[in-house]
Structure 1
Amino acid sequence: MKKILCSMIMAVLIISAGEAHAITVYKKDGVTYDIKADLQIQLRKDVGKDQDLDVEYDDLEIKNSIKYDIGNGFSAFGQLDFGFKNAADKPDSDADPHLEEAYLGFGYKGGKIFMGKTDSAADYFGIEGAYEEPLSCHAFDRIGHTDGDDIIGAAFKFSLDDFQFNIIATHEIEAESEKSDGNGTFSDIYAEMKFAGFTVGTAYQTYEASGSDQSEDIYGISLSYDAKFVKVGADYSVAEDELDFWNLFAKIPVKSINTTFGVGYQMIEPDKSSDEDISAWYANITYKFPAHKNVSIFAEVADTDENNVDMGYLFGVRVKF
């Protein structure tokens, strides 16, 4: 079975080598099957003490999407994504491709409901500037939860001219049974507005560990502006009684050389007076090949002001469709 799966994946990769977008493998009688891939390999030395240079498999994903038109504007859809990082990191083992996402749902116009293993609403929060964030992405990533195995959720999208509104809400079921140890429960929501080059986002999550009656609350707000010649963004997130998390980022695309330069700053302010603030910075450069924008090479350096921490750096290649 493993050989059959690998053969199918390799065939799709060979067929798609010249494509710039997702491939529609099948489309007939109201049924659409698409496949995507995100392949990224880095030569990386992490920020930290006594870190060695290593080949890192940051993304090795195959994404499968199927959608059925079931009439009267309704659709049914499914997603099945596999990651190959574990197998790549342990070539001498029998590590199988691991399951990234597996969910099913129904949609109607701009809305949808779904359930299964997938990202939480909080995962959509924040600005994206670094290839490898020195201090995590934000408070939701550092303290909270950005995915789940037992999620039910709903999403809605509305567009009018240059205004767009998106909202997504998810709930992770406790799921403590003979088949599951229970990983706690959380509920979260993310809302986003886009208009005139601005993107404003806000998120909230409340989490309760398995067997606990105490909840942890995390919330955040983000703002970015795309002026075409430069894009700037910032986000601020708070994990109550834990920490405040700041992100600042700016990038400048230089279209004449198909290159984008980026720089960012992060800071964590712990709530405990005995803990010191931690700050970090990073800078990166990305080149996209003119013939195919989904093929890129990139480099990044990063460092923090923590004691006994050395600067990190990476060089990587990314191919996706």
Structure 2
Amino acid sequence: MMLCLIYIYYRFEIMLRFLSTLGYANAGSPYIAESIPDSSYSSQYENFNGTVCKLHIKDSDGNDHIRVKPDSDDTRIYFSFEPENGTNDVWINIITKQDLDRETLGGTINIKLIITDDQHNEIKYEHLVYILDVNDNAPKFYNLPYTLKIDELPCNNNNNTIVYDKIKANDIDNGKNGTVTYSMKPIAQTPELEDVYKKKFSIDVSTGDVSLEECLDYETNSYYQFNVIATDGGPNGGKSSSAELIIRVQDVQDMPPFFTGLPYMMTAHENIKNNASLIKVAAKDGDTGVSNRVSYSISGMFVP
């Protein structure tokens, strides 16, 4: 008789273990009968607003009520749970409460749930959501402000000489949405002057490095201003940001002095006293930015 009871208990224990592998757990406990999607993970875009997954939860006790609550802070913050009709046989919709910001959450979020009934039986459930990137961030410039002081000479315009490499922008989106390209537009008073600016300087599309294309002349133009644009690779032309680049040309000593008030003419009496003042001449340095002191000397020939 005792052996018979042991055998029956053993067979019952095996049956319980078998049922638990089918999702039925212990008698009287809630269990997941079905899930949509039929997987422990899914993917959603970070701006998705709606149902991430659905759970069909059952409890073999006919009078029990099924309850679902979050088992993590992220689950509580980002998701709500809406049951469809039922008490011990119910569908639960897991719905987003706010955008799943990929840059904040780091690419995934794990939904963690505790499911209980009136008898305090509980099971836990997890569903991993892979967050897909959308282009919701524009490039951001750093190292601001962008200013360059450059000597007009020597003229280093061979092989696209880089004269400024501080322009940098970063986009925290992923993939093409985070790939940044650069361009720049001259800020000038006339279209003709804009063309002059474009011929003098260029920007590398990939790196943002600025190169000198033509020789500079302080006396012709000592100031250049550009609007630098950083654009990401998102759809519909992407998102963009802009920053100003100001270039000031430094004068160097490359222009001779010039006389003012030309021509100079005068007459003098033959008996004029020595060291008498006859005429005053004036000259200015041709380099207006770095003006140096002008010294004078005289040479000429005697005309009888």
TM-score for both structures, normalised by structure 1: 0.16
- Structure ID, larger Rg: 2
Greater RCO structure (CA 8 Å; 6+ sep): 1
TM-score for both structures, normalised by structure 2: 0.17
Identify, as 1 or 2, the structure richer in strand: 1
